[in-house]
């Protein structure tokens, strides 16, 4: 199994939701790694993150069971990352999907 098979994109996060909140919310489905994507310079959440389960079945179970769930007062959206990002790691949001890094893109930022 590739790590992409067990990887979920979790969107519509409250900007105050952190990794610990996601760990607590998804912990009943099995072991995983979690990253909330943050702005490179200012550090607040960008409103989405990635959860990578060690088992793809756990990811599928979490996706089905958490349909319509809310976290920190916000209804969250979760789907398999490969579907949401077009099969490219983080391309839909400019995230690299590892270590919480974020690419601003767009040329001149000055």
94 within domain boundaries: no
Q: Please state, in angstroms and as integers, the Cα–Cα distance from residue 37 to each residue in 21, 46, 47, 51, following that order.
A: 14, 6, 7, 11
**Burial of residue 61, with CB atoms counted within 10 A of its CB: 0-12 exposed, 13-18 middle, 19 or more buried:** middle
Q: For 21-34, write each residue's pLDDT tens digit.
A: 999 999 999 999 99
Q: How many domains does the chain have?
A: 1
Query: Residue 61: what pLDDT?
Result: 95
92 within domain boundaries: no
Could you tell me the two tokens for 93?
A: 């949001």
Query: Residue 42: what pLDDT?
Result: 87
108 within domain boundaries: no
Q: For 18-73, write each residue's pLDDT tens digit.
A: 999 999 999 999 999 999 999 988 888 999 999 999 999 999 999 999 988 999 99
36 within domain boundaries: yes
Whether 99 shows a pLDDT value over 90: the answer reads: no
Domain CATH number, residue 33: 3.30.70.330
110 within domain boundaries: no
Query: Residue 3: what pLDDT?
Result: 63
Q: Domain limits at 68?
A: 3-84
Q: Which helix (H) or strand (E) holds 49?
A: strand 45-53
The pTM assigned to this predicted structure is 0.70
49 within domain boundaries: yes
Q: For 74-97, write each residue's pLDDT tens digit.
A: 999 989 887 545 443 443 333 333
């Amino acid at each position: 199994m590739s790590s992409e098979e067990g990887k979920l994109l979790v969107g519509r996060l409250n900007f105050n939701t952190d990794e610990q909140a996601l760990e607590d919310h998804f912990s009943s489905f099995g072991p995983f790694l979690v990253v909330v994507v943050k702005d490179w310079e200012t550090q607040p959440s960008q409103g989405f993150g990635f959860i990578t389960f060690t088992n793809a079945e756990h990811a599928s179970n979490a996706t089905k069971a958490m349909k319509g769930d809310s976290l920190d007062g916000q209804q969250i959206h979760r789907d398999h990352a490969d579907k949401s990002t077009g099969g490219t790691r983080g391309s839909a949001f400019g995230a690299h999907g590892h270590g919480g890094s974020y690419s601003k893109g767009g040329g001149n930022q000055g």
